[in-house]
Homo-oligomer: A and B are copies of this chain.
């Protein structure tokens, strides 16, 4: 029906009464399955439950994918948008797996994947004056649903790191800097973002704050000086803390320190699966 086409600027034709061809629904002969196909970089407002009660409105950047078997030509991406549109007003971590199961059903897919990144705000009081301000933490939800369901929560927390070597070898002062600590965790039971942030900030030389008055600035300067930590120390102290937290089953943690004396960053990373640990210990008995 498309054999004669004009290039003149004409108004859109009336919709044909015959159904449009479903190009994506055709068969495919290349014999190649696709791990992930879908939509990337969607920005959406979402509403999250807070640890202390109440809702928080924030904005997420979302990727949503399904797998595609060898014999299918394409997926129906607009359905992914429709499902998102339906759920974004109540996007808690508990909603991720049900949403992915709905994706699998509506798109007839064996696997569904979601990746979300969003800022999350926590009110924080300065350590001496108690002056309050909002701190933003970049958080992530990663979910997969196939024969089993998987969910990873991530938090990036800024903090202060103060170099033990610099403190030890110098007559006065010690170089320090902002660092970005990231933790991604698999849990059993609910772990609030607020709880994970507290664990993470305790691993640094000192937390950072939204508002600090002079007495607060004195306090955090001395706190950092009294807690010198290499990037290795931050990440190890965080590992020790997460090892003690029974709700955490697996973690991948890293810290990137924006060295004040260099133009490059110091970095350390640990990934650990407690479930794997337990198996060899059991077998060694």
Contact = CB atoms under 8 A, between A and B. Distances in A.
A216 to B, nearest CB: 9
Interface string A168-198: 1111111111100000000000000000000
Contact of A226 (B9, B78, B128): B9
Interface in A77-120: 77-78, 81-82, 85, 88, 119
Interface in A150-184: 158, 160-178
Interface in A1-60: 2-7, 9-13, 15, 20-24, 28, 30, 32-45, 56-59
| Chain A interface SS verdict (over half) | mixed
Given A58-B45, A210-B262, A261-B206, A222 B13 contact: yes
A7 B2 contact: yes
Interface in A265-282: 265-271
A248 interface: no
A173 B174 contact: yes
Interface of A: 2-7, 9-13, 15, 20-24, 28, 30, 32-45, 56-59, 63, 65, 68, 73-75, 77-78, 81-82, 85, 88, 119, 121, 128, 131-136, 158, 160-178, 206, 208-215, 217-227, 230-233, 235-237, 239-240, 256, 258-271
Given A20-B215, A21-B169, 19 more contacts: A10-B226, A13-B222, A20-B218, A21-B168, A23-B169, A34-B235, A36-B268, A36-B269, A40-B266, A41-B264, A45-B56, A57-B58, A59-B136, A65-B267, A68-B232, A77-B266, A81-B133, A209-B262, A221-B261
